């Protein structure tokens, strides 16, 4: 079933019930819409886009921060048969232009946060963009953009009834660019439908669940986790902000049952509880049943501390990529708390292999590249056949991640293939060192990268972010690492903030660029 048909079904079955709630604690703002209002709005958007010349196979860019309008616009674009192109709101103007050109977009829908960036590239985009819609305060709307509420108000909430098949293309999702320039991942309607099924299968959402959406909706992670609620007509809360006290407050006030967190947010919540900033007795949290994490390796020490504070919580780790339509191709499973640290087993209807450089399976326990196959695998990198050939092999997706399988069949993520550090001929996997350092009680966050070394080729360098109010020295860190094999111990320690992108992934290219220039002058610590 198309996800646009799932929305229509929800409107028929649960029309008067709440579908989405937007909370903005900083402004004491709360807005909600029902399933019927959600469906009607998406139909109006589709009709309006069609009136502006959008046809099946056209591309419509969506550049917005999380808000209650986000999902109705997304579904409205899909109902026209056009491809939706959600962009990372952190992209600079040049990257936005590159994505719009790659997509060959015909319409551009954007929010107030992007006015300045759009105006710097508008002259170049005008050669192919035919429509601009602005979603925001009318008083600051650029003259060249039509006001979104006024445009859709004049159209009836009728499904345009465009013939769409599950095999048709649905959207272009640009990768986060953590290993280079963003690539346009082409997903089909079948990919999106499968994301609903696999997420609900893994986390057992029922109609009574309530999902708290924190990560950006442009990313496959947040939206595809919400899909598990969506497929059963369960409500969701969109929270504008990630401050720990606000998260706990909204979980309490909105009776939230499921929360998907990124590692930094989970750490921040634990720090706030430890410091007394959050007093759990002041909140209603008994209904909160599941906390799950994805998008990056999860330090086992974090989950051990979390379960001490929230012993009643179910927990899951979710592994996925934009190219696999988000999370779920591998997941730990709610019943496998004894394996925290592993990313888990193949997800529902997924297969995997761990292979060497010649595509041959490695022996159990040995590291190799993780390769996956299933209904969530993308169609291609749009307009990039060379990159497509490099990752799609006979229907299998090469993930670029190094993994190993243990004796019980659980998969452990070792590291990104491109992040492996080779020092003195030895392979070092930064995640192993990061997990070790993350367990230090004074460390808030850590990233390990390789920096050039004339003698060793590369040296492992730890960028350490210390918890607020704590003092930590290099000698303390070196002593803490004494139980690691000598070749795995970081040779250089830098105290600094660890940069992460909106999906929680460490921006290692940024760190390498920042520190590699004077790597040879570093004194080995």
Residue 244 lies in a domain: no
Strand partners, 457: 453
As a residue count, the chain comes to: 525
b (16+ CB within 10 A) / e for 197-221: bbbbbbbebeeebbbbbbbbbbbbb
Q: Do residues 214 and 189 make contact, with C-beta atoms less than 8 angstroms apart?
A: no
CA Rg value for the chain: 23
Backbone angles phi, psi at 145, to 5 degrees: -105, 135
Q: Show the 3-state SS of 91-147.
A: CCHHHHHHHHHHHCCCEEEECHHHHHHHHHHHHHHCCCCCEEEECCCHHHCCCCCEE
| The predicted structure's pLDDT at residue 297 | 67
pTM attached to this predicted model: 0.84
Three-class DSSP category at 493: strand
Residue 200 lies in a domain: no
d(CA 464, CA 477): 9
d(CA 116, CA 385): 33
Q: Do residues 74 and 84 make contact, with C-beta atoms less than 8 angstroms apart?
A: yes
Tokens of 217: 């909706």
Tens-digit pLDDT profile for the chain (525 aa)? 999 999 999 999 999 999 999 999 999 999 999 999 999 999 999 999 999 999 999 999 999 999 999 999 999 999 999 999 999 898 889 999 999 999 999 999 999 999 999 999 999 999 999 999 999 999 999 999 999 999 999 999 999 999 999 999 999 999 865 445 789 999 999 999 999 999 999 999 999 999 999 989 998 888 999 999 999 999 999 999 999 999 999 999 999 999 999 887 898 899 999 999 999 999 999 999 999 987 666 778 889 999 999 999 999 999 998 999 999 999 999 999 899 889 999 999 999 999 999 999 999 999 999 999 999 999 999 999 999 999 999 999 999 888 999 999 999 987 676 777 867 656 777 877 888 898 899 999 999 988 887 556 678 899 999 999 899 999 999 999 988 877 788 989 999 999 887 667 788 878 888 887 654 444 333
Read off the CATH number of the domain in which 126 is found. 3.40.50.12780
The total number of structural domains in the chain stands at: 2
Q: Edge to edge, what strands does the sheet with 107-110 contain?
A: 146-147, 131-134, 107-110, 59-63, 83-86, 169-174, 184-188, 380-381
Residue 122 lies in a domain: yes
Read off the CATH number of the domain in which 489 is found. 3.30.300.30
Name the pairing type of β-strands 326-331 and 345-346: antiparallel
d(CA 133, CA 307): 46
Tokens of 91: 């992209």
Q: Choose among 287, 341, 295, 296: nearest CA to 314.
A: 287
d(CA 460, CA 476): 17
Residue 235 lies in a domain: no
Residue 15 lies in a domain: no
Tokens of 22: 């937007």
Residue 508 lies in a domain: yes
Q: Which domain holds residue 441?
A: 420-521
Q: Which secondary-structure segment (H or E) carries 45?
A: helix 35-51
Residue 288 lies in a domain: no
DSSP codes of every residue in 243-278: -HHHHHHHHHHTT--EEEE-HHHHHHHHHHHHHTSS
Q: Show the 3-state SS of 319-360.
A: EEEHHHCEEEEEECCCCCHHHECECEEECCCCEEEEECCCCC
d(CA 430, CA 493): 14
Instruction: Point out the domain boundary residue: 149, 182, 215.
Output: 182
**What does each C-alpha distance from 299 to 33, 96, 100, 262, 267 come to in angstroms?**
37, 33, 37, 11, 10
Would you give the end-to-end CA distance of the chain in angstroms?
58
What angle separates helix 220-230 from helix 3-14, to the nearest 10 degrees? Answer: 40
b (16+ CB within 10 A) / e for 83-103: bbbbbbbebebebbbbbbebb
Instruction: Point out the domain boundary residue: 121, 154, 182.
Output: 182
Q: Do residues 110 and 132 make contact, with C-beta atoms less than 8 angstroms apart?
A: yes
| The predicted structure's pLDDT at residue 213 | 96
Q: Which secondary-structure segment (H or E) carries 109?
A: strand 107-110
Task: Using CB atoms within 10 Å of the CB of residue 109, give its burial: 0 to 12 exposed, 13 to 18 middle, 19+ buried.
Answer: buried
Residue 477 lies in a domain: yes
Backbone angles phi, psi at 112, to 5 degrees: -65, -25
Instruction: Point out the domain boundary residue: 128, 148, 182.
Output: 182
């Amino acid at each position: 079933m198309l996800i646009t048909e799932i929305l229509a079904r929800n409107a028929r079955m649960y029309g008067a019930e709440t579908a989405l709630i937007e909370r903005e604690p900083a402004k004491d703002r709360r807005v909600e819409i029902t399933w019927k209002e959600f469906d009607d709005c998406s139909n109006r958007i589709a009709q309006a886009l069609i009136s502006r010349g959008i046809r099946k196979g056209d591309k419509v860019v969506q550049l917005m921060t999380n808000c209650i309008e986000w999902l109705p616009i997304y579904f409205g674009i899909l109902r026209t048969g056009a491809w939706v192109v959600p962009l990372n709101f952190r992209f600079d103007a040049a990257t936005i232009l590159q994505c719009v050109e790659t997509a060959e977009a015909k319409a551009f829908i954007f929010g107030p946060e992007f006015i300045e960036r759009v105006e710097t590239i508008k002259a170049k985009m005008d050669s192919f963009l035919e429509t601009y819609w602005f979603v925001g305060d009318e008083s600051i709307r650029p003259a060249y953009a039509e006001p979104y509420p006024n445009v859709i108000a004049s159209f009836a909430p009728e499904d345009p009834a465009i013939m769409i098949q599950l095999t048709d293309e649905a959207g272009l999702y640009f990768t986060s660019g953590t290993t280079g320039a963003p690539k346009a991942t082409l997903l089909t309607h079948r990919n999106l439908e499968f994301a609903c099924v696999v997420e609900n299968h893994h986390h057992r959402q029922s109609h009574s669940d309530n999902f708290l959406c924190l990560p950006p909706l442009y990313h496959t992670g947040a939206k595809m986790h919400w899909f598990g609620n969506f497929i059963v007509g369960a409500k969701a809360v969109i929270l504008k902000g990630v401050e720990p006290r606000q998260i706990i407050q909204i979980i309490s006030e909105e009776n939230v049952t499921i929360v998907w967190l990124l590692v930094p947010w989970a750490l921040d919540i634990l720090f706030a509880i430890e410091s007394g900033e959050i007093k759990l007795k002041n909140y209603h949290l008994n209904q909160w049943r599941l906390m799950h994490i994805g998008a990056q390796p999860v330090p086992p020490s974090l989950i051990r501390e979390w379960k001490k504070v929230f012993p009643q919580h179910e927990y899951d780790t979710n592994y996925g990529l934009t190219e696999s339509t988000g999370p779920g191709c591998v997941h730990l499973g709610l019943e496998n708390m004894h394996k925290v640290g592993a990313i888990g087993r193949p997800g529902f209807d997924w297969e995997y292999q761990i292979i060497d450089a010649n595509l041959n399976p490695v022996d159990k326990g040995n590291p190799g590249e993780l390769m996956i196959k299933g209904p969530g695998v993308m169609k291609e990198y749009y307009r990039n056949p060379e990159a497509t050939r490099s990752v799609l092999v006979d229907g299998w997706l090469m993930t670029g991640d190094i993994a190993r399988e243990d004796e019980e069949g659980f998969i452990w993520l070792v590291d990104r293939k491109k992040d492996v550090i080779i020092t003195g001929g030895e392979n070092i996997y930064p995640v192993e060192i990061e997990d070790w350092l993350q367990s230090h009680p004074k460390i808030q966050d850590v990233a390990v990268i390789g920096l050039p070394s004339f003698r060793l080729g590369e040296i492992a360098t730890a960028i350490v972010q210390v918890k607020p109010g704590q003092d930590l020295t290099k000698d303390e860190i070196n002593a803490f690492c004494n139980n690691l094999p000598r070749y795995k111990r970081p040779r250089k320690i830098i105290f600094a903030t660890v940069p992460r992108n909106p999906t929680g992934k460490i921006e290692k290219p940024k760190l390498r660029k920042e520190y590699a220039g004077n790597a040879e002058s570093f004194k080995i610590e």
